[in-house]
């Protein structure tokens, strides 16, 4: 059963406590008027939460198993340091989406800002439209999929992991190289696209991987 929380005028501690007790009752939770709350849904291990409208910053930080949906736009640092679970944004995500993630899936249907997916250590991060500059900086593992275009220095100092991009980049970062798509890549991308009904042809994607396994010192 779905329960609705109105966060208007409430502080993080109160909303967080009520939300957690609803999750314990196995309820699906919808939270309204939550854009002033930063760090909401932090470190949840289970539950299904929908934010009606826009979210504040650090939504779903340290998420460890919950499914969090944002109907509007997300603030800065959405899904920061996520380890498990799923974060879905229907609109755009501000600066620094899905940084420091170890696992789970982040899907942003709209655009994402600068420094998205920085230091990704294993999550699957899918951006439905364009991304800003310096996206995927210092990535260590995982897949970053950009359906649209990227700005400056895409994948700067890529350490490990893969970046797939459907559109163009303004410039590629240090230690990046373009690689031919393998049949496994096509299957993988199809698998990623199906649940979100993304109607693009995996074949037109470009794959970027690290040039050297040691990007800092020879």
Partner 1 sequence: MPIVGAFCVTLHKDRCINSRMPGKCATCVEVCPYEVYAMDDEGQVMVQNFNACVGCRICVEFCPYNAIRINPAEPEYISRSLWTFAQVEEIHYKSLTGQYLLRGFGTMGPLPHFDNIVVVPSQLASPPPKDKYREECKMEVVIGEETAKNPIRLRLPIIFPAMSFGALSREAKLALAICAARTGIATNTGEGGVVEEEPYYSKGFVDKEMTKRKWSPGGHLVIQWSTGRWGVSADYVNAGDAVEIKIGQGAKPGMGGHLLGAKVTEEIAKVRGIPVGSDALSPCRYYDVLTFEDLKKQVGFLRDVTNYEKPIWMKLGPSRPYEDVRMAALAGVDAISIDGMAGGTAASPDVVTQGVGIPTIACIPPAVRALKDLGLHRRVKLFALGGIRGGLDAFKALALGADGVGFGTAAEIAMGCRACMACHKGGCPYGITSQDPKLRARLDPEAAAERLTNFVKATAEEIKMLAMLSGHDDIKELSEEDLRALDINTAAITGLKLVGYERRLPWWEQQETTR
Contact assessment for residue 106 and residue 78, using Cβ atoms and an 8 Å cutoff: yes
Number of Cβ within 10 Å of residue 112's Cβ equals 31
Cα→Cα distances 127→111, 146, 205, Å: 7, 5, 13
Q: What are phi and psi of 62, to 5 degrees?
A: 60, 20
Q: Which of 3, 10, 36, 39 binds partner 1 (CB under 8 A)?
A: 39
CB of 39 to partner 1, least distance (A): 3
By the rule CB under 8 A, 140 interacts with partner 1: yes
Q: Which of 1, 180, 217, 218 binds partner 1 (CB under 8 A)?
A: 217
By the rule CB under 8 A, 213 interacts with partner 1: yes
CB of 171 to partner 1, least distance (A): 19
In DSSP notation, 135-146 reads TTTT--EEEEEE
Whole-number Å distance between alpha carbons of 32 and 173: 40
By the rule CB under 8 A, 16 interacts with partner 1: yes
Contact assessment for residue 109 and residue 91, using Cβ atoms and an 8 Å cutoff: yes
By the rule CB under 8 A, 188 interacts with partner 1: no
Per CB under 8 A, contacts with partner 1 among 103-122 are 115, 118-119, 121-122
- Interaction site with partner 1 (CB under 8 A): 12-13, 16, 38-39, 42-45, 57-58, 61-64, 76-77, 80-81, 83, 95-96, 99-100, 102, 115, 118-119, 121-122, 137-138, 140-141, 157, 159-160, 213-217
């Amino acid at each position: 059963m779905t329960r609705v929380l109105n966060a208007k005028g409430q502080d993080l501690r109160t909303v967080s406590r009520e939300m957690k007790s609803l999750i314990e009752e196995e309820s699906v939770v919808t939270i309204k008027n939550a854009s002033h709350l930063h760090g909401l849904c932090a470190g949840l291990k289970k539950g299904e939460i929908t934010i009606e409208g826009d979210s504040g910053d650090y939504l779903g930080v340290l998420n460890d198993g919950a499914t969090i949906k944002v109907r509007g736009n997300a603030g800065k640092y959405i899904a920061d340091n996520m380890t498990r679970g799923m974060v879905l944004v229907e609109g755009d995500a501000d600066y620094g989406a899905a940084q420091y993630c170890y696992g789970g899936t982040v899907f942003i249907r709209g655009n994402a800002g600068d420094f998205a997916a920085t230091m990704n250590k294993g999550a699957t991060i899918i951006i439905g439209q364009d991304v800003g500059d310096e996206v995927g900086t210092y990535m260590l593992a995982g897949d970053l999929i950009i359906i649209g275009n990227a700005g400056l220095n895409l994948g700067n100092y890529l350490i490990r992991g893969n970046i797939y991009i459907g559109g163009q980049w303004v410039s590629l970062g240090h230690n990046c190289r373009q690689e031919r798509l393998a049949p496994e890549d096509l299957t993988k991308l199809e698998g990623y696209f199906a649940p979100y009904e993304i109607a693009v042809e995996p074949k037109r994607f470009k794959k970027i991987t690290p040039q050297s396994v040691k990007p800092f010192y020879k």
